[in-house]
Amino acid sequence: MPVMCSSLLQKLEEFLITDEQLSKEEPEGKIKPSLFSGSLSMALCYIQRVFRSGALHPHPRILCLQGSLDGPEQYVAIMNAIFSAQRSSVPIDSCYIGSQNSAFLQQASYITGGVHHKPQNLDGLFQYLMTIFATDLHSRSFIHLPKPVGVDFRASCFCHKNTIDMGYICSVCLSIFCKHHKKCSTCGSVFGQAQSEAASASDKKRKTPET
């Protein structure tokens, strides 16, 4: 057990050092987001492979440790992975160690029934990992886990990949846009076409027949 804890702490320290170096290489004011969607997809693929092996019947969980900002351009891929985890009954635990909180991690933990926590003091990071995230699913019903104060359910628009509070949604493919468009760039549906056709049909009915 001490050897495993020492190895875990060493990997976490290397992760923080690497993340800090990568953030310094980026231009000032611009931090490159992590490949969160790819990591989730790889974890889910591995879990499905274990499920289909038939020999084991595990109760898998996914722990996401993130320090960078969210990448709005990954919104669709991340949400697909989250719903896939929900369907497979795989909780996603998330621990955010950056300055701002992560909307993606909050939504992932909320939808899949996992635990989301943002440590206030990184000096006690190992304690948070051991007491909150290392507990199995059965034992969690007997301990007091941190509950989220509020979940950020904001989405990212498909046109500019920006996080928005309000927007326009395509009724056919559910694509989200920050501004009104005449045509959906995802499925090609024309917005307002049904209303215009109905209006023109009603106008024709109102016209009196020529004598």
Is 60 exceeded by the pLDDT of residue 94?
Answer: yes
Domain coordinates of the chain in residue numbers?
2-153, 156-206
pTM of the model: 0.68
DSSP 131: I
DSSP 124: G
The residues with which 94 forms a beta bridge, in sequence order, are 64, 116
Confidence at 90, pLDDT banded by 50, 70, 90: very high
pLDDT at 211: 46
pLDDT at 200: 54
Is 50 exceeded by the pLDDT of residue 57?
Answer: yes
Q: Please give the residue that has the higher pLDDT: either 5 or 185.
A: 185
Options 3.30.479.30, 3.40.50.1820, 1.10.357.10, 3.40.50.410; CATH for 2-153 is: 3.40.50.410
Cβ–Cβ under 8 Å, residues 112 and 90: yes
Nearest Cα to Cα of residue 69 among 105, 108, 109: 105
